[in-house]
Amino acid sequence: MKRKSRTVDRLRQAEPQTQRHLPLVDLLVDTRAELMELAVASGLKVLQQMLEDDRTAACGPRYQHQPDRQASRAGTVASEVVLGGRKVQMRRPRVRSGGAEVPLPTFADTDPLNRRVVEQMLVGVATCQYGRSLESTGPSIRTRGTSKSAVSRRFVAKTATQLSTWQATALETLDLVALLVDGVHVAEHCIVVALGIDATGGKHALGLWEGSTENAAVCQSLLADLQSRGLRTDRSLLVILDGSKALHKAATQTFGPAALIQRCQVHKLRNVLEHLPERQRASAKATMARAYRQTDVTIARRLLQDLARRLADRYPSAAASVREGLEDTVTVLTLGISERLRHSLATTNAIESVIGRTRHVKRNVKRWRGGQMVVRWVAAGVLEAVKGFRRLKGHADMPKLVAALRARDRQLGLAESVEQVA
């Protein structure tokens, strides 16, 4: 006799069990909301007790005579406290001394709320959705500060403060050995950003400048601002650029002979390949990669020059691109540093990562209301990227780079050579 399949029966038996779990899921969601409201209410009660303890510490125990008491109780007043990313209304105990209000240590100001607003905006929460991103407090607790306009005002105030503080930071204490400069276009504005690398391989966001294009005047203004804040221009500095003529001109004008220019090898390779048909790109790419991996700069130059000669007849534009700035693309090969550190300093990847962070941060902005808004958002993105900074790959070999730069100073007779001799 043919046996019947038990698969259908098992499925039918499983269905009722699955359905019985659904009400439990809804119950858990409701319980979670109630627990959150209970936690908020309990937190307010704890805060009230802490404030009352502060008043007791300032005024002494209640209903006890104290002849040397310096402050007295003054009832309560309607106030607000920052809790869970919003302002929560409460009754705050008051203390007065000599006719003046005495602040209680436990009572927090609105700065945590500003920080919370900025963090929410930077991770992609829109101003109109800020309230939805916060935990529920329940209908019995009155709150405010989560509207679109309130969130926007706080974001503007906090980012403006961050920007002014950053732009006023002194740079003379930084022992910088490398400088990277790049620009990002936002609406009708171009923001040029500078990143520094110190003698230990640490990265430092130095500053930014706004203009309509990435021209020499804007770049010069940025470097002049960095110089006024303490950036040294009297000793050799490795300046890593993406090939922009404006950046190159500004760097040479600001640092003069102290500027040791390194052209980004990735940008150079990309420029050359754009002038070649698909079938010729693999060979040219392999040759340039081989040249950039060399430890002997003479061999690297010969490989690149041979490539330019091979391309000259059929692809003259590609050959001209190889020759243009050839010496600047192999600068790191002359410094005697390890391959890992050479790879880190031969490209603008470090600052490209920072620029990429600014693009991610501003992705939700639909309307730009002027250059100041653009500057604030880009600065917020740069300072957000700073939180994830790590030392440069190959930083263990940084002493060799420093030694090579100081040897160049002595060769050129720059100020640093005098300090080294002393």
pLDDT, tens only, 78-93:
887 776 677 778 788 8
| Nearest Cα to Cα of residue 130 among 358, 372, 364 | 364
Give the pLDDT confidence of 318-346 residue by residue, as tens digits. Answer: 999 999 999 999 999 999 999 999 999 99
Say if residue 7's pLDDT is above 70. no
Question: Which pLDDT belongs to residue 197?
Answer: 97
Alpha-helical (H) ranges within 256-370 are 265-274, 278-292, 297-312, 316-323, 326-329, 339-345, 349-361
**Proportion of the chain above pLDDT 70, given as a percent:** 83
Query: Is beta strand 237-241 parallel, antiparallel or unpaired with respect to 259-263?
Result: parallel
Assess whether pLDDT exceeds 60 at residue 19. no
| Cβ 97 vs Cβ 72: under 8 Å | yes
Q: Is 18's pLDDT higher than 50?
A: no
Spell out the residues 6+ positions from residue 269 whose beta carbon is closer than 8 angstroms to its own.
285, 288, 289
* Mean local confidence (pLDDT), 168-197: 93
Task: Please report, for residues 244, 283, 285, 288, 319, the alpha-carbon distance to residue 274 in angstroms, rounded to integers and kept in the order given.
Answer: 17, 14, 11, 14, 12
The residue ranking higher by pLDDT, 36 or 160, is 160
With a cut of 60, say whether residue 388 has pLDDT above it. yes
User: Alpha helices of 178-239 — where are they, by DSSP H?
Assistant: 216-228
* Structural domain boundaries in the chain: 174-421
CA pair distance 167, 188, nearest whole angstrom: 22
* Amino acid letter, 256: G
Q: Is the pLDDT of residue 406 over 80?
A: yes
pLDDT at residue 109 tops 60 = no
Higher per-residue pLDDT: 107 or 170: 170
HSE, CB side, 13 Å, CA atoms: give it for residue 332: 28
pLDDT of residue 249: 92
From CA 113, how far away is CA 154, in angstroms rounded? 8
Give the chain's radius of gyration (CA, Å).
31
pLDDT of residue 4: 54
Tokens of 199: 């003698």
Q: Residues 202-229: pLDDT tens digits?
A: 999 999 999 888 888 999 999 999 999 9
Report the chain's mean pLDDT, rounded to a whole number: 84
Tokens 């590609």 sit at which residue? 318
> Kindly report the CA angle at 362 between 358 and 364, in degrees rounded to 5?
155
Cβ proximity of 93 and 87 under 8 Å: no
Q: What pLDDT is recorded for position 315? A: 95
- Distance, in Å, from the CA atom of 93 to the CA atom of 49, rounded to the nearest integer, reads 10
Which pLDDT value is given to residue 195? 96
In this structure, of 26-40, 60-74, 122-136, 371-385, the range with the lowest mean pLDDT score is 26-40
- Residues in a beta bridge with 83: 86
- More confident call, 123 vs 340: 340
The pLDDT, as a whole number, for residue 216 is 87
**DSSP 3-state assignment of 104?**
coil
More confident residue, 274 or 138: 274
Q: pLDDT band at 53, cuts 50/70/90?
A: confident
CA distance 206 to 160: 17
Comparing 147-156, 254-263, 329-338, which segment has the lowest mean pLDDT? Answer: 147-156
Q: Strands, E, within 220-263: which ranges?
A: 237-241, 259-263
CB-neighbour burial class of residue 229 (10 A; exposed 0-12, middle 13-18, buried 19+): middle
Using an 8 Å Cβ cutoff, are 69 and 60 in contact?
yes
User: For residue 37, is pLDDT > 70?
Assistant: no
Gap between the Cα atoms of 192 and 182, Å rounded: 6
Q: CB within 8 A of 350, min separation 6: which ones?
A: 180, 195, 197, 203, 344, 392
Q: To the nearest 10°, report the CA torsion of 54, 55, 57, 60.
A: -160
pLDDT at 191: 94
Q: Whole-prediction pTM value?
A: 0.75
- Whole-number pLDDT of residue 11: 46
Q: What is the pLDDT of residue 126?
A: 77
> The tokens of 294 are what?
């060399």
- With 50 as the cut, is the pLDDT of residue 24 above it? no
